[in-house]
Chains A and B, each alone.
Chain A
Amino acid sequence: QSVLTQPPSVSAAPGQRVTISCSGSSSNIGNNYVSWYQQLPGTAPKLLIYDNNKRPSGIPDRFSGSKSGTSATLGITGLQTGDEADYYCGTWDGSLSAGVFGGGTKLTGL
């Protein structure tokens, strides 16, 4: 059972917008930055968003992040077939003194 809670799956049609939620508590999301990772099939995870809403160089602005209280959200606009992947949120948990992840959300196209 993961410390952070994500929906197991979401789906959307190409070109549409999709959001993925990540819920935690005051010991993790509530007091720390959130990152998001994309894992394409058969590959290692890749950093998409850090510090709640910042994009590393090379990540298109179709990807966005936000945080409110003890929850965070990843948004993807103009959905492409190449976006079909597993998405994970991650942060630091001060009570555990450890890194924590969500269980992952599988994004599929309609």
Chain B
Amino acid sequence: QVQLQESGPGLVKPSETLSLTCTVSGASMNNYYWTWIRQPPGKGLEWIGYIYYSGSTNYNPSLKSRVTISVDTSKNQFSLELNSVTAADTAMYYCARGGRRDVYIRWGQGTLVTVSS
């Protein structure tokens, strides 16, 4: 049974870079899309972007200038970097796996990131 686990700092200062890693266990990363999705407290889901196992990426146009998603299949991990963060980036961040770019079959439990000085 595949499992995903997010990890990274829970507190980031304004203007700095948010960095998270999703570790995949129980399955290969090959032939899947790996997606980051976030949810501000009390609000709905926002798609951040995906990386295919081969390395191709696609980002939310509203975040594109600040986002980088990378993958390391040898470590069974993929990562999210979001720079120049503000309080508006405070959210629960989820990583997810899908066989296609538009369906998120398996989710991590999420990690809360707060942007505050």
**A68 CB–B CB distance under 8 Å:** no
Partner of A98, one of B47, B103, B107, B108: B47
Q: In whole Å, how far is B97's beta carbon from the nearest beta carbon of chain A?
A: 11
Task: Name the CB-closest residue of B to A49.
Answer: B103
Q: In whole Å, how far is A89's beta carbon from the nearest beta carbon of chain B?
A: 10
Residues of A within 8 A of B109 (CB): 43-44
**A21 CB–B CB distance under 8 Å:** no
Partner of A101, one of B45, B49, B50, B58: B45
How many residues of chain A have a CB within 8 Å of chain B? Answer: 26
Contact A47 B47 (CB under 8 A): no
Residues of A within 8 A of B103 (CB): 33, 35, 47, 50-51
Given the complex of chains A and B, what is the CA–CA distance between A43 and B34 in angstroms? 20
Contact A99 B35 (CB under 8 A): yes
Residues of A within 8 A of B37 (CB): 99
Interface positions, chain A 51-100, Cβ under 8 Å from B, are 51, 56, 88, 90-92, 96-100
Given the complex of chains A and B, what is the CA–CA distance between A77 and B46 in angstroms? 28
Contact B44 A98 (CB under 8 A): no
Given the complex of chains A and B, what is the CA–CA distance between A99 and B106 in angstroms? 16
Subset of 21 A-B contacts with CB under 8 Å: A2-B44, A32-B102, A33-B102, A35-B103, A37-B45, A44-B107, A44-B109, A44-B110, A47-B104, A50-B105, A88-B45, A90-B45, A90-B102, A96-B60, A97-B61, A98-B47, A98-B59, A99-B35, A99-B47, A101-B45, A102-B44
Which residues of A approach B to under 8 Å, CB–CB? Answer: 2, 32-33, 35, 37, 43-47, 50-51, 56, 88, 90-92, 96-104
